[in-house]
Structure 1
Amino acid sequence: MFVRRYPASSGIVLREKRVMRAHWLTVPVLALLAGASSWAADCPALLQGSLPELRGKGQVDLCQRFAGKPLVVVNTASYCGFAPQFEGLEATYKEYHEQGLEMLGVPSNDFKQEDADSEKTAKVCYANYGVTFTMTKTQAVRGADAIPLFAELASQSSAPKWNFYKYVVDRKGKVIGNFSSLTKPDDPAFRAAIEKAIASRP
């Protein structure tokens, strides 16, 4: 690289060094921004954004946590008659997790069966049913107020008509199965959809 020489007293050499230093500091920043932009572009529409964790103040970055993985999304409710399905969902999660399966439970009061206190919701999930898969704080899952995740689920399939609707998503972020509250976690069709999602490619 050609560098013009000036008398040290002129201060021009010092200014050139500062410009060069600023240039080299800018390069890694631009690279990081480009990487982040590329990551966002690669993330499927279903997994854009984040949701608050059920317990604690952290956020679940949907793309970071679930991109490229088979996923089951369930809208849950603590006081619903289908709440015992938590046990079957947890068993399913444990059975298939080593094969890459992830599960996301999203509590909702859209059907008036969820507690306003997230600590009580957490007690039902973690203490009563021993849930270990990812759970979020209460969210809207249908209609105009639905969070983007459920708006996209509805766009690809249909909105939940009750609690414990189960959406099976492949590694590309596409819904390949939508199962109602009446479908139990050990239902052969539900399990077949999960196995299809596991076998899919990103």
Structure 2
Amino acid sequence: MSDTHFFHKDLLGMNDFAPRPFNSVEEMNQEIIKNWNDRVGENDTVYHLGDIALYFIRPERASNEAVFQVLKELHGHLVLIKGNHDSRSLFKYLSAHNYEWGGKSKFEFHDVGKLIKLNHRQLIMSHYPISLGIVNQIINLHGHIHHYSVNARENINVGIDTPEKDYLDYKIPFGAPFSERDIERMIDQKKIDFAKRR
């Protein structure tokens, strides 16, 4: 999951960058929270690959508190990777207000990315797409580019408005994080798609 952009009022409506057909940020925020919680269990782990929110008001503490309140409504343990719109101040605030959730911390923080192994693959999770070149069993899950797709089979955009969800033959509600099954399907289908292009 990436690019939730909670509170980002400039995305409302049908703009070319990341259309969000909501009447208000409150409506958008609640839709994301509902769809997230319908899909994520209390003790699931969700990797959020950056651009949590865009809400820069004064005092800065009020902005950080508002984002914190939204994140507290989301199910699961949140592994947060810093995006270009995530301030260091927000991460410091969340760290200072971290709390126990199901026996471990609600939030885990990474500035650049995180590497995990899943189903005999290495997944490099980052906010920005990474150019890996030709590799075997290494996939970059990323966000940042909204409704665009990197023209490489090793890169999977897992942002909230990714076009790569078209590789799924079922619908993912807006704001609901992708499951391991969804990610595997996107990886496999993009590989098939690229094999057809040869």
TM over 0.5: no
TM-score band w.r.t. shorter chain: 0.3 to 0.5
Larger Rg belongs to: 1
TM-score if structure 1 supplies the norm length? Answer: 0.34
TM-score, length of structure 2 as denominator length: 0.34
Higher strand fraction: Structure 1 or Structure 2? 2
